[in-house]
Amino acid sequence: MKVAVIGAGMAGSALVEELLKLNPSAEIHLFGEEKIPPYNRIFLADILSGKKLPTQLLLKSYQAYEEEGIKLHLGERVERIFPDVRKFVTSYGKVYSYDKIVLATGSLPNLPPVKGLKKKGVFAFRTIGDVFGIMDLARVSKRAVVIGGGLLGIECVKALRDAGLKVFLVHILDRLMEQWLDYTASHMLRKKLEEFGIRVLLEKRTEEVVGDEKAQGVRFSDGEILEGDLVVFATGIKPNVKLAVKSGIEVNRGIVVNDYLETSKQDIYAVGECIEHRCRTYGLFSPIMEQVKVCAKNIVYSNVERYEGSFDYSLLKVAGVKLLSAGDVQEQEGDELLLYKDKENYRKAVLRKGKIVGFIFYGNLSGSEKFLELLKTGESFDEAFALIRGLLIDEKKDLKETDMVCNCNAVSYGDILRAIKNGAKNLEDIQRITKASTSCGSCSTLIEEILKAHVKVRPTKINKVEEYKKKVHPFEADLLKKLEEWANIGDWQKVPEEDREIGLKWYGVFYRKATPGYFMVRVRITHGKLTSEQAVILAHLSKKFGRNVIDLTSRQQIQLRWIELKDLPEVLHAIREVGLTTLQTGMDNVRNITGDPLSGLVEESLIDTISIARRISETFLGKRQYANLPRKFNLALLGSKRDTINCKYNDLCFYLAEKEGIIGFNVYAGGKIGSGGPQEAIDLDIFIRPYEAIDLSKAVLELYTDMGNREERSKNRLYFLIKELGVEGFRAELERRLLRNLWRRGKDLVEGGGERHGLIRQKNGLYAVSLLVPAGNFTGNDLEEVAYLARKYGSGEIRLSVYQNLYLINIPEENLSELLNHPIFEKYPISSSPYFNGLIACQGSKTCAFGVIENKPDAIKLASYLSEKLPTDKRLRMHWSGCAKGCGQHGAGDLGFVGTKVKVGNEVKLAVDVFLKGEKINTVPLDKLHLYIEQLLKEIKSL
């Protein structure tokens, strides 16, 4: 039997599954207009809010469809069916035949008659393509307006709020979700949304999207204009009947079907949002699943089962809100009402002639599964009041094995117990084995409760960071708002320990145990590019709040230290006001993206990577889906022939390369310094064009999020995942997520490494001038002075380097003499001995609790000694880490040093592990190190 399913949405893909169960040998063709495999449309808002990754919505991989023998035709639209000859034609001009054909064409956005819908910045909220468009604009928007107070509109507006936008929800009627809620429930929902910071406007008719070519807001019928640079219409849906009309199939509101779900044409069936059955259309998943099961049987066994219609129910999937409504919730004369209400909960049941006909649960959803079952079966109760009242006040009832847990996929309590018996230990296992909770998700809470009662096994290694994130992700906890409250109290010890030690790091705020009562703030400076205006503000903050201390870091960032709790809100606000951010500079996030500080300026720079770094940063900053990695993630872009950033010691490294005359990047991944020792990044055998780095970065982050180890933190960097999958397996996963094959590697063009120093001539004839800052020890006063010099003599821009130095750029030759006479160059010369030119040193024990040695003073002391005793003109990179975590990139240097301790006789002494080209060669007491390194350098001819 050859069956063609037209529409690769949830209905079409579910039908394919049912057909395979009933007739595994059937030849099944699945056609979809979108170019990606079928996905779960129910969770689109979770992509927007960052709770889920796009790939997590895929119902199946390409490979799974192929293994099952399903012919996927994605991006191929069916134009017309010819029922008399059982053939159809597609947008590719191809003609196919069929034995049975099913229309699962779904629905289209039901947009209101509003002027300006075609303007840029206006979106529907229906497909994953819509979501991607909204996400792209949301990154550069501040105010969003969502039109439509139904289920999708509320989920959309909350997701945009979670993404950091100021949002407005506009609805034409006087209550939200009017089909499903009464005035009491609507009022409670509105109040909760406003607590989230969402402005709700009711009884507002939208007449026009204002603005020239791009949306700038909306105008209402009363003349009021609401400003907004992003407008989303979530105003309902209508059946997609275009194909049916073209093919001569009977259509009313939807495609008309009989009880066998057959259309007016023989052997053509229809299911899902596109159909009209007994004058009703359906827009929710549960009824569609019932249709699918009936339709599959009728296709395989020739019309053996009737579809009698379904009841609808609505579940609102918004973090912080639990709401389920089903059936007829608007009471009629003669109905019996059961009500329960407190501050957080509202429950209403409508009884008609002794039977439940509708209910609303707001707050605690316990008992809702039983209500759905009663509503579906129409069962009558002699003791209705006692039973329903018991459920309403949340009395616990024992489940029977026949009780339904997942109505969407018809999974009973007994099915869940059998899955547990067969090895299911968590929600993901239950979803995989039974498909429960994979559709609307309303049963996930109940399944978790069942698991707690029946599964006693816990992981042998508990990762406290993952435990913290599972409770509530820092972005959902809104720690910035809490930080203001804690700052008003002023006592750092009143900040909950987990938030202080873990959560605040997502916002770049680090409590330092080595400096009790004080915090460090890490400022993200993408690619090390800093304006003089930004530098002035950072200098001011360090002087006012941070003892005039500025740390230049080995990831081209600036750290402010000695900040008191009470001052943190003001510091963070000032940083944001000049276009900088501290977001995601710590914990399980993508850290600052590094690149050649003179990218785009010098002859060696073939690709200016600054704009690419910005685009990648915009992709993940503030987005929850990229802020829940298994561990930290370092990313570097090298578009120059000189590696000034130790690129291959990053989790993801884009390395200048050439292939077939195209300049781009070879891709390396898995580089690290800590977590088991230094490891150079692994060659993934991939070449990409420069602009492809953005999508590839997203794919790597999604893959790492999905598959990375989340147990032992010392073994959960990306390196370990690549070793587990193998290069071929890792690359295959990337190709699956990118939906295309990747080019194999080209020729590396990088010829050497190390810091530039002195006067560097730029492509444009101007000069860059370096300021050598030993170990990155800087001050607010000095940064303020550098900002002044950048404005007076150059273009007002400062570049930070991985080697903790600074560059003033775009200096005309005629300004050099006066600039170099400035006293600051006596303190920070443009060049020094190789021992200082190639020096990196992270924080030591004075300000870092992990530090074993003071580190920076030790590094400077050794560099000074060698400069005097063993002068040389050879390039030498000395990298110092205060502990094994490796913030000083010791494994990437020619010589590396890691703080440790060693026993000498009966005395425990401070020492360092010495690394040569990434390999440990010895452990040496600090007080003997200068002599050891002097002798080592004399013996080694070349580094």
Mean pLDDT of 39-48: 88
User: CB–CB of 786/806 below 8 Å?
Assistant: yes
Q: Give 380's strand partners.
A: 355
Provide the pLDDT confidence category of residue 136 given band limits of 50, 70 and 90. confident
The count of other CB atoms within 10 Å of the CB of residue 126 is 19
**Across the strands, what pairs with 899?**
912
**Residue 542: predicted pLDDT:** 98
Report the alpha-carbon distance of residue 877 to residue 645 in Å, rounded: 12
Output phi, psi for 406, to 5 deg: -115, 105
Which pLDDT value is given to residue 375? 82
Please give the Cα distance from 731 to 817 (Å, whole number). 53
Residue type, 910: L
The H or E element that residue 79 is part of is: strand 78-82
Rounded average pLDDT over 930-938: 96
Does residue 777 have a pLDDT over 70?
yes
Summarize the chain as % helix, strand, coil (round to 5): 35, 25, 40
Dihedral in degrees, nearest 10, Cα atoms 136, 140, 143, 146: -10
Residue 482's contacts (CB-CB under 8 Å, 6 or more residues apart) are: 499
User: Does 453 score more than 90 pLDDT?
Assistant: no
Helices (H) and strands (E) in the chain, counts: 28, 50
Averaged pLDDT score across all residues of the chain = 92
Give the pLDDT of residue 759. Answer: 98
**Span 98-124, average pLDDT:** 97
What average pLDDT does the segment 35-46 reach? 89
pLDDT at 916: 96
pLDDT score of 384 more than 70: no
Confidence label for 66 from pLDDT (cuts 50, 70 and 90): confident
Residues 723-754 pLDDT 10s: 999 999 999 999 888 878 899 999 999 999 99
What six digits make up the tokens of 594? 């590094």
* Cα 303 to the center of its chain, rounded Å: 46
**Residue 164: how many CB atoms within 10 A of its CB?**
16
Strand partners, 89: 80, 95
**Residue 926 per-residue DSSP state:** G
Least confident segment among 409-418, 521-530, 639-648, 665-674: 409-418
**Cβ 720 vs Cβ 633: under 8 Å:** no
User: Taking the alpha carbons of 82, 85, 89, 93 in that order, is the dihedral positive or negative?
Assistant: negative
pLDDT at 396 over 60: no
Choose between 441 and 184: higher pLDDT.
184
Reply yes or no on whether the pLDDT at 188 is more than 60: yes
Mention every residue, 6+ apart, whose C-beta is less than 8 A from residue 481: none
> Could you tell me if 546 and 563 are in contact, meaning their C-beta atoms sit under 8 angstroms apart?
yes
The identity of residue 880, as a single letter, is W
- Rounded mean pLDDT, 762-791: 98
pLDDT at 818: 97
State how far Cα 625 lies from the chain centre: 2
- Rounded Cα distance between 598 and 797, Å, is 11
Predicted pLDDT of residue 449 = 83
Instruction: Note the Cα 39 to chain centre separation in Å.
Output: 18
Find all residues with CB under 8 Å of 828, minimum gap 6, and list them. 771, 772, 773, 782, 806
Tell me the angle at which helices 479-489 and 568-577 cross, rounded to the nearest 10 degrees.
140
| Beta-bridge mates of residue 27 | 2
> Catalytic positions, please?
522, 631-632, 882, 887-888
Contact in structure between 5 and 15 (CB atoms under 8 Å): yes
Structure tokens at 369: 């599964």
Q: Residue 267: is its pLDDT beyond 60? A: yes
As a whole number of angstroms, the distance between CA 698 and CA 159 comes to 20
Average pLDDT over residues 910-917: 96
Check if the beta carbon of residue 130 is closer than 8 Å to that of residue 34.
no
Percent share of the chain, pLDDT over 90: 76
Count Cβ atoms below 10 Å from residue 134 Cβ, excluding itself. 24
3-state SS string for 488-526: HHCCHHHCCHHHHHCHHHHHCEEECCCCCCCEEEEEECH
Query: Residue 547 gets which letter from DSSP?
Result: T
What are the strands, taking DSSP E only, across 250-403? 255-257, 268-270, 275-277, 313-318, 321-327, 336-341, 346-352, 355-362
Alpha carbon distance 621, 851 (integer Å): 29
Residue 943, pLDDT score: 59
pLDDT digit string, tens, across residues 514-536: 999 999 999 999 999 999 999 99
pLDDT for residue 317 is more than 80:
no
Give me the pLDDT at residue 372, please.
81
**What are the backbone dihedrals phi and psi of residue 472, each rounded to the nearest 5 degrees, phi first?**
-165, 125
The dihedral built from the CA positions of residue 566, 570, 572 and 575, taken in this order, carries a sign that is negative
Note whether 588 and 629 are within 8 A (CB). Answer: yes
Q: Decide: 622 and 563 in contact? Cβ < 8 Å.
A: no
The type of residue at 803 is: Y
Q: How many CB atoms lie within 10 A of CB 871?
A: 10
DSSP state of 746: -
Most confident stretch, 232-246, 338-352, 414-428: 232-246
Give the tens place of pLDDT for each residue, 833-865.
Answer: 999 999 999 999 999 999 999 999 999 999 999
